Amino acid sequence: MNEIINKKVEFRDLGLLDYQAAWDYQEKLFAETVALKISNRTLDPADQSPSNNYMLFVEHPHVFTLGKSGKEENLLLDEQGLEKHQALYYKINRGGDITYHGPGQLVGYPILDLDNFFTDIHKYLRLLEEAIILTLADYGVVAGRIEGLTGVWLDHLEQKNPRKICAMGVKSSRWVTMHGFAFNVNADISYFGHIIPCGIDDKAVTSLHLELGKPVNMEHVKARVKQHLIELFEMERIELI
């Protein structure tokens, strides 16, 4: 563990960005953070540098991504189908199965050194979920968790019509995280019909605008998610870039 604790997080809004470009950027920040931690181990505490923390917000053009534990057959489109729907497909290094990203979906990529906060991946995932649950509550939408499943769900208690509104998939090495959450705000959920989302074929997917019956201001949603993340993770200094 680093001797120097740094709870400062830089929030960076990348706008609408190609998935590969965002992935490359994540990998760069992730690799720099891990390399710094390895370097610090060779230094006296007085000579160590604090590791940085980042929270990237982004929207992607239509894309399907398959995690390490996923099954390719959960993508229901062939190459022609992908081209018809103007969608790309990537196999990536996060946990989880297949999911969809697209315009109107707020994707959050935390590159956090959990040594600066807490070294508990289970807690980390639950706090990411909690930030979305609290944001939904700000809009009068009740959401929660379903035992045995990741992400944030509506109708999570009675489960008469359970539907996922936010998916999770993360990677961690040396307590540094990457990948994160995908929150459907104004998303075109018809694209989820081209996959078996997260390998779950008996539950639906929804978007905040569908639940409210009107389009949602994405900038307002970002502001609420940011504030909840700040409070839940007890982030000390925040730079909005």
The catalytic site residues sit at: 198
Pairwise CA distance, residues 151 & 83, whole Å: 29
Pairwise CA distance, residues 166 & 153, whole Å: 7
Q: 64, 91 in Cβ contact below 8 A?
A: no
Q: b/e string for 100-120 if b means 16 or more Cβ within 10 A?
A: bbbebbbbbbbbbbbbbbeee
Q: 154, 142 in Cβ contact below 8 A?
A: yes
Please work out, in degrees rounded to the nearest 5, the angle formed at the alpha carbon of residue 105 by the alpha carbons of 104 and 106: 120
Please work out, in degrees rounded to the nearest 5, the angle formed at the alpha carbon of residue 192 by the alpha carbons of 65 and 211: 125
DSSP string spanning 129-188?
HHHHHHHHHHTT--EE--TT--SEEESTTT-SS-EEEEEEEEEEETTEEEEEEEEESS--
Around Cβ 68, how many Cβ atoms within 10 Å? 13
Map tokens 């390399």 to a residue: 35
Check residue 75 and report its DSSP letter: B
